[in-house]
Amino acid sequence: MKRMTRHLSLWMLLATALLVWQTAVARDLPDFTELVDQAAPGVVNISTSRMVERTASPLHNFGDQEIPEILRRFFGDRFDDRVPMPPGGGPERREERQSLGSGFIIDEAGYIMTNAHVVEGADEILVRLNDRRELQAELVGADAKTDVALLKVDAEGLPTLTLGDSDDLRVGEWVAAIGSPFGFDHSVTAGIVSAIDRTLPRDAYVPFIQTDVAINPGNSGGPLFNLDGEVVGINSQIFTRSGGFMGLSFAIPINVALDVADQLRDGGRVNRGWLGVMIQPVSRDLAESFGMDNPEGALIADLDPEGPAARGGLQAGDVILEVNGEAVESASTLPRLIGRVSPGGEVALTLLRDGKRREETITVGDWPDSEVSAANGQGEEPASARLGIAVQPLEEAERRDLGIEGGARVREVDPRGAAAQAGIRAGDILVSIDQRVVEDPDQLAELVAELPDDRAIPVRLYRDGRSLFVALRLSHG
């Protein structure tokens, strides 16, 4: 009996200690209730509508009657195939509305910030507030390169959010998101800042905030808050292999977004600096060949002969190490540093040429309206921007030896890009993508631009003289 009593006392002591420990841990965790109470009214749900040609099912003779369920059971998805309306009726039009994302009100004049991809192609934008008001919104402007869009609604008594300073963010601090994942309005998720100043293969102009806050489709365009309830970012993308949250979320810093929004409000477009160079990463072997201690900077592979860099005396083979005293850690850093310089402004560049450092001052230009040619930009070919690769044409002899009519050779692979995740390596020759023949690098860029997100795409390639397929998956949150 005494032994049982001692055991009972020990268990009670352990339970008390556990309770005290849990209370202490809970006391150290942040409480988001006050933040949500204050901020939620300023977060909105955004849906869009667009006009499309009306189409009919192959069984259009049913007229306006509902297709019998027994036929649906037998024929299934074949009723989802669409054919043009029969002759004589003429194409009709119908309205199609789909809830796409989130946004937030930044001032009482009715300006709302969201992602550019949320409102892309919309004929009509509808904003639903926390108090259930629904307002028509006007698109003031959108910038695809930073994925920022500015909307405006005409209403009074709008709740606004307090904007913070994203430059003050530190890795490890708590943040929270409010948005409409999968259409569930005003859902709150929280986590920490996992990293700052992240550059993604497809978005060279944004130093992303990486978090482990749960973000899913529908959260796009919603605000990211610090513990003071200030907006420090716009939730924009997720990294996923499943289509859902996997612990990697990316937000546009609010300082970057505000600069874009101000330009959109003032002129309807964003002006950003342009050098007119094609760049590539500096590999370890290239660094050694240039006499560099470490692989860093951006290597100029080619120049637009009429661009600012060529006029300023830059040459192919130069490695840009610094911009206005700020280190160019990798090739992907350069577009962001140049892009935030106003056209007509001067930048001081530190270069490595022929093994020697030198200083050059360049007057940057304005980004051309035509952005088709990679030589007109700071980055690599359009295929690189989305896949995370740099490619080059094949020599006629190579195509003849392999028995192919086209193709593009992979020159560099970003280890963080979609191509690397699929197993594509430098030196591979891309032959087809999504069962369409790759003719050359320019045509490859067009194919890549049309690829869907979050679906496995077959890619056929040659490696070491052998043909093989890999599965490529592109993602955008």
Give me the active site residues, please.
117, 147, 220
Nearest Cα neighbor of 326 from 355, 304, 289, 297 is: 297
- Phi and psi at residue 122, to the nearest 5°: -80, 135
Nearest Cα neighbor of 248 from 297, 304, 200 is: 200
Tokens of 348: 């001081």
The full length of the chain comes to: 477
- Phi and psi at residue 8, to the nearest 5°: -65, -40
- How many Å apart are CA 1 and CA 6, to the nearest integer? 9
Q: Are 438 and 444 in contact (CB under 8 A)?
A: yes
Q: Are 418 and 201 in contact (CB under 8 A)?
A: yes
Place of tokens 């940057």: 364
Q: Are 454 and 477 in contact (CB under 8 A)?
A: no
Residue 436: C-alpha distances to residues 209, 238, 250, 396, 458 (Å): 36, 28, 32, 20, 10
Q: Are 254 and 236 in contact (CB under 8 A)?
A: no
- How many Å apart are CA 179 and CA 349, to the nearest integer? 41
- How many Å apart are CA 119 and CA 100, to the nearest integer? 8
Nearest Cα neighbor of 150 from 266, 39, 230 is: 266
How crowded is the C-beta side of 219, counted as CA atoms within 13 Å?
28
With the CA atoms of 431, 303, 287 and 280 taken in that order, what torsion angle do they form, in degrees rounded to the nearest 10?
-40
The residues facing 373 across adjacent strands are: none
- How many Å apart are CA 433 and CA 476, to the nearest integer? 19
Please count the other Cβ atoms lying within 10 Å of the Cβ belonging to residue 138: 12
The residues facing 351 across adjacent strands are: 320, 358
- How many Å apart are CA 77 and CA 354, to the nearest integer? 63
Per 3-state DSSP, the chain is made up of helix, strand and coil in percentages (nearest 5) of 25, 35, 40
| DSSP H helical ranges for 319-358 | 333-339
Place of tokens 């709150």: 188
Please count the other Cβ atoms lying within 10 Å of the Cβ belonging to residue 77: 7
